[in-house]
Amino acid sequence: MAALDLFGRRWSLRVVWELREGALGFRALRERCSNMSSSVLRQRLVELIEARLVHQTPDGHYALTALGRQAHTALSPLVDWSVAWASDLAEHSAEHSADHDTPAPVAPDTPGAPPRPLDDATGT
C-alpha cells in the first residue's frame, strides 16, 4: 500500500498523531479521535498494523513502531505548515470580518435584481 494512499484515508493520520506520545488502549484512542466509530478505528488500526506503523502491545494497547515514529517525524513539516496555514486563515478571517462589521446600506430590491449599495450623497 502506498504511503499517500494509507495516509489519505480518513483518520489514519489522526491515529498516528494520537499515538505520538505513547501507547493507548482502544477506548482511549477512540476518545482522542473525536469518538470515531469503533469499526472505522478497528479498520485503520488493522491497516496501520499491516503497514508496520503500529503494533499492539502485550497489554492490548496500540503504539507506534520505529517505522511509525519515523513516519510521524517525516510528517512534522506538514504539521508545522498546517499550523502556519491555520494562523493565516484566522488572520484573514479576522481582517475580513472587521471590514464587514457595519454592512453598507442597501437600496430596496428590484424584483430579480441583486441588492445594490446606497450612494451616500444622494441616499439612492
Distance set, CA 19 to CA 38, 67, 93, 99, 114 (Å): 17, 13, 32, 42, 52
> What is the model's pLDDT at position 78?
86
pTM value? 0.67
> What is the model's pLDDT at position 102?
54
Residue 6, φ and ψ in degrees, nearest 5: -65, -50
Distance set, CA 98 to CA 58, 85, 93, 106, 117 (Å): 55, 20, 8, 19, 18
Decide: 26 and 14 in contact? Cβ < 8 Å.
no
> What is the model's pLDDT at position 115?
54
> What is the model's pLDDT at position 85?
92
Name which of 60, 36, 45 is nearest 12 in CA terms: 45
> What is the model's pLDDT at position 123?
54
**Quick check: 6 pLDDT over 70?**
yes
**Quick check: 119 pLDDT over 60?**
no
Higher pLDDT pick, 117 / 97: 97
Q: In the numeric block, which cell numbers belong to residue 100?
A: 464587514
* pLDDT tens profile 62-105: 999 999 999 999 888 988 898 899 999 998 888 877 766 555 55
User: What percent of the chain has a predicted confidence (pLDDT) above 90?
Assistant: 51
Distance set, CA 115 to CA 66, 68, 103 (Å): 60, 55, 12
Across the chain, mean pLDDT equals 83
